């Protein structure tokens, strides 16, 4: 199957699932899920892998399609299913969700497309901040981030400080970058003109091209 987009009907499918939230409903509507979500996700990941390797100039690992089942062991919300479909392409040598992502997305009742280092261990956070504080490399990263911002991408991370890190001047010109404890770029604003058709693939690749300089900066200093 070639990628033809994620149909609008897919959002309605998740809306119905979010109301039902039971295995019986899912079993009865599994065929629609595979047609609306599973097959397009697999097709998209397969088709963008080669182009992304050229964009990043790095080998990528095998595509990862996430299960719909939620881990409810430590959650007050015991709903068994997520409200979106998620997939990603890790860089070769890194396990999914434990290293930088060449591409991560989830689509459904919530949309997000992201690239980069979403979580960093403490030693890597120190390296990240040192690189941002250094005038040459810090200005370089800010330039790349600003350019990506013009393409609609914002800096993201799993954890963001409310204030400047200890010892950092709150008036530092790159204080907003320094508040982040990782280095990823993402957006939840997908143009309507591409959201439900095959043009979504080209939009993802364009966004990855905008994110690539930031990821390259990160690879040089964090890996």
Q: What does the domain layout of the chain look like in residue ranges?
A: 9-222
Angle between helical axes of 199-222 and 39-56 (0-180°, round to 10)? 50
141: tokens are 């990263």
For residues 198 and 5, the answer to whether their CB atoms sit within 8 Å is: yes
What span, in angstroms and rounded, lies between the C-alpha atoms of 36 and 11?
9
- What is the rounded average pLDDT of the residues 51-71? 96
pLDDT of residue 75: 77
Q: For the whole model, what pTM was predicted?
A: 0.94
Q: What share of the chain is helix, strand, coil (3-state, %, to 5)?
A: 45, 15, 35
For residues 84 and 106, the answer to whether their CB atoms sit within 8 Å is: yes
- What is the rounded average pLDDT of the residues 22-26? 94
Question: Among 159, 220, 161, which Cα is nearest to 184's?
Answer: 159
* Beta-carbon count within 10 A of 182 CB: 22
Question: Among 199, 186, 183, which Cα is nearest to 127's?
Answer: 183
pLDDT of residue 18: 95
What span, in angstroms and rounded, lies between the C-alpha atoms of 203 and 199?
6
pLDDT of residue 96: 84
- The tally of CA atoms less than 13 A away on the side-chain side of residue 138 is 16
pLDDT in tens, 103-142: 999 999 999 999 999 999 999 999 999 999 999 999 999 9
Question: What is the CATH topology of the domain spanning 9-222?
Answer: BirA Bifunctional Protein; domain 2 (3.30.930)
pLDDT of residue 77: 80
């Amino acid at each position: 199957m070639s990628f033809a987009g994620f149909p609008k009907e897919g959002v309605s499918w998740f809306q119905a699932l979010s109301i039902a939230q039971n295995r019986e409903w899912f079993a009865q509507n599994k065929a629609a899920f595979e047609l609306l979500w599973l097959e397009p996700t697999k097709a998209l990941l397969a088709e963008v892998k080669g182009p992304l390797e050229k964009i990043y100039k790095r080998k990528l690992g095998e595509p990862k399609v996430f299960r719909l089942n939620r881990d409810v062991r430590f959650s007050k919300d015991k709903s068994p299913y997520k409200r979106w479909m998620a997939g990603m392409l890790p860089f070769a040598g890194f396990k999914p969700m434990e290293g930088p992502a060449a591409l991560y997305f989830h689509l459904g009742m919530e949309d997000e497309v992201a690239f980069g280092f979403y979580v960093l261990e403490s030693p890597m956070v120190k390296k990240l901040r040192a690189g941002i504080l250094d005038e040459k490399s810090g200005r370089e990263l800010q330039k790349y981030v600003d350019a990506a911002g013009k393409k609609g991408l914002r800096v993201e991370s799993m954890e963001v400080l409310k204030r400047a890190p200890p010892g950092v001047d709150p008036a530092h010109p790159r204080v907003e970058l320094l508040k982040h404890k990782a280095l990823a770029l993402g957006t939840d604003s997908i143009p309507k003109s591409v959201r439900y058709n095959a043009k979504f693939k080209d939009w993802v690749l364009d966004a990855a091209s905008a994110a690539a300089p930031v990821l390259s900066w990160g690879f040089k200093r964090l890996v």
